[in-house]
Amino acid sequence: MTPAQATKESIANDRLIRAVCTRLGENKRVRRKLPVWGRLHIDRQLPFLCVYRRPIVSTDNGTDRLVTTEASYVFASALKEQRSALTGLVSEVVRTLAAEFGAFLLLELWSGDEGDVEDVANAAAPQLAVPRFRLFAPRDDELDSFVEKFGESLSRIKVSKLAAEVEVVRSTRCSPPELAPVLPPAAARQLRCTTLGLQIRPIYRHPETDDLYPVILREVRRELTRGLRLSFYEFARTHTTQQPKHFHALGRRAVVKAVWEVDRQIAEVSDAFDFLLQVTPVNAEKAWHQFRRHRLERAPVFRYRPLPVDPVVLKRTLYAIPLERVEDPTLWSLFRNKQDELDRKITMLVDINTHNFVHGSLQVFGGVNDELRAMAIDLLTNLPSRTRVGAKKGRLDAKAFAERAQTELDCLRLQMPDCTARVRIRDDIVSTMVSGGSLLVRKSARIAAGRVAAVLQHEIGTHVLTYWNGRAQPLRQLYSGLAGYEATQEGLAVLAEYLVGGLSARRLRTLAARVLAVRRMIDGASFVETFRELDRTYEFDQETAFSVTMRVYRGGGLTKDAIYLRGVIQLLDYLKRGGDLDSLFVGKLALDHVPIMKELQWRRVLRAAPLRPTYLDAPESAERLERVRAGLTVFELIKDGRS
């Protein structure tokens, strides 16, 4: 760079600095490209800034991405001609924000290979090294407690199950060895700025070729983000006038356009097909009559809807989605897991009526372990197979039930006028189900009057409600369903049946029968063998035994039906441990997603859910929920049930 070019760039920086400080003074987001190379991103007024300077003599592959997960960062070139410009920019940012908070934290990150000679020696066949951090901090009694907790946060980091090694170095120099500090110590003190340095062992790249290990880099970014955010929270709480309510409140709120574009594209792939409709036989009633004509001795032939999409084209679209543009590790992990699940489901649609279908089902929905099988057998053995409780209350046909369902949907619409859910009566489904946020009712359905409230809250109070709550969020994955959401969703739906007093012994036995049927199918039993066991050993009426068996053997072997009992067992344990029920209504998510949803709510990426189940306002439901939190078992759920 010539002196004339350097001067030109400095002038550009002067204009940039004025614009940046004006926006920060108004508490507005700043996202600017820097001259030569680099970017400044400050989400809002925050009491910290992460700094990275790219070395002149190496590419330092991947290290700049370690700061881009934070809500406030700058990365730039370490060129000598740019040092004064960067110092000027950082100084004014610190001056502006320190005036707001009374103090400020400047953290510079860089990669370091000290102690990694053995990695270079083994470069021909490298193994993942232990993550290592060296935290550089000045000697200052007032900082001792904060620095100690910073080190503890780093020590909790694990990469591929390898725990991090952390060394705290007390030094007046908190910058890379070959570079002068971004802010000279005297200037930092004058600006009430604490300067720390963090040297990171670059385990995310090949020690000799510098090629990235992308999976390791993502894991390092995710783990480091949590460690840094905890440390920023501690600094803000103890050294500034800001008192954040949670460490996630210091995370990124502003989401770049690339995130919403990726979210939209994944949702479009998900919306291109309805998985459950595609794997549901269209000839269920005819198949039952066919089975009876063959004296229950020959498995029926099920027929399915034609695929509305070309799987090859859909997969090509799915993997063309640029996930690498998503900087946020939390959102990236949600998108990547959903991408993988959609890939597996599309493959299952191709494999319908083949032996490969069940293998895909095991990957998506899991199987039945010995513990869950034992629970199912226990329920089938000890709960009565016949009961007359509620038998005289009669049944509702499809039309009458649809009218009751429409009344329930009208209640939801009072809470959320944009909810356009409808009730549709169809003859090509095997049971009541929800698709696209609307309720589908089988034309030949006859629902016991004592079960109507339970079915309504299972389907509308859970599945419809979480669909429309998901639609109200900016993140579309919450209505189409995050990866692995089904077990929690069905567990929540079964819990709703209990909370309205409609979970009977008969219903619980049916859920247990589904688990047993899935296990028998996985173990190699035929359709007829599984039907006989339900019919003869566990005394189900033949139509119910057929329905359970059909649901499990459809498509070539669908293990999804095991998630109902598994999901309610997991949910009972979650609530017993103090889990938050309201978080599960934000959209279609799994228990594992609850911390992520809370993080995104603290960061104000997600909004409050507009819909709340109507049954939760009933005193009887509140009392039952308290009993669940006290530690009810699955068996004890039926004490308040109805037949």
**Alpha carbon distance 636, 604 (integer Å):** 39
Mean pLDDT, all residues of the chain = 92
Residue 564 confidence (pLDDT) above 50: yes
Question: Per-residue confidence at 390, pLDDT binned at 50, 70, 90?
Answer: low
**Alpha carbon distance 601, 475 (integer Å):** 12
Alpha carbon 54 to its chain centroid, in Å, reads: 33
| Pick from 553, 528, 550: nearest CA to 355 | 553
Residue 194 confidence (pLDDT) above 60: yes
Residue 414 burial class via C-beta count within 10 angstroms: exposed 0-12, middle 13-18, buried 19 and up: exposed
What is each CA distance from 166 to 16, 266, 281, 331, 382, in whole angstroms?
Answer: 37, 39, 58, 28, 55
Which range has the worst mean pLDDT, 250-254, 343-347, 439-443?
250-254
Residue 9 confidence (pLDDT) above 70: no
Residue 590 confidence (pLDDT) above 50: yes
Q: Count of CB atoms within 10 A of residue 417's CB?
A: 9
* Structural domain boundaries in the chain: 3-252, 274-308+351-640
Tens digits of residue pLDDT in 133-179: 999 999 888 999 999 999 999 999 999 999 999 999 999 889 999 89
**Alpha carbon distance 141, 527 (integer Å):** 73
**Alpha carbon distance 73, 224 (integer Å):** 14
Residue 389 confidence (pLDDT) above 60: no
Q: In this predicted structure, what is the pLDDT of residue 211?
A: 94
Q: In this predicted structure, what is the pLDDT of residue 598?
A: 94
Q: In this predicted structure, what is the pLDDT of residue 612?
A: 95
Q: In this predicted structure, what is the pLDDT of residue 642?
A: 44
Question: Per-residue confidence at 388, pLDDT binned at 50, 70, 90?
Answer: low
Task: Decide: helix, strand or coil at residue 217.
Answer: helix
Q: In this predicted structure, what is the pLDDT of residue 121?
A: 42
Residue 22 confidence (pLDDT) above 80: yes
Residue 484 confidence (pLDDT) above 50: yes
Residues contacting 223, CB < 8 A, separation 6+: 131, 157, 158, 159
Residue 588 confidence (pLDDT) above 70: yes
pTM for this model (two decimals) = 0.86
**Alpha carbon distance 425, 460 (integer Å):** 15
Looking at residues 63-76, what average pLDDT do you find? 95
Q: In this predicted structure, what is the pLDDT of residue 327?
A: 87
Contacts 24+ apart (CB under 8 A), 228-231: 228/50, 228/70, 228/107, 228/153, 229/70, 230/149, 230/153, 231/146, 231/149, 231/150, 231/153, 231/154
Looking at residues 199-213, what average pLDDT do you find? 94
SS3 labels along 490-543: HHHHHHHHHHCCCCCHHHHHHHHHHHHHHHHHHCCCCHHHHHHHHHHHCCCCHH
Which range has the worst mean pLDDT, 23-37, 428-442, 484-498, 627-641?
627-641
What is the enclosing helix (H) or strand (E) of 415? helix 398-415
Tens digits of residue pLDDT in 272-316: 999 999 999 999 999 999 999 999 999 999 999 999 999 999 999
Triad 9, 192, 236: Cα angle to 5°: 105
Question: Per-residue confidence at 125, pLDDT binned at 50, 70, 90?
Answer: low
Residue 69 confidence (pLDDT) above 50: yes
Residue 119 confidence (pLDDT) above 80: no
Residue 473 confidence (pLDDT) above 60: yes
Q: In this predicted structure, what is the pLDDT of residue 117?
A: 39
Q: In this predicted structure, what is the pLDDT of residue 375?
A: 97
Q: Which residues pair with 42 in a beta bridge?
A: 30, 72
CATH number of 3-252: 3.40.630
Q: Count of CB atoms within 10 A of residue 5's CB?
A: 12
* Residue indicated by tokens 């991405």: 65
Question: Per-residue confidence at 254, pLDDT binned at 50, 70, 90?
Answer: confident
Strand 193-200 to strand 104-111: parallel, antiparallel, or no bridges (unpaired)?
Answer: parallel
Q: In this predicted structure, what is the pLDDT of residue 3?
A: 45
**Alpha carbon distance 5, 90 (integer Å):** 21
| Pick from 399, 448, 447: nearest CA to 424 | 399
More confident residue, 10 or 74: 74
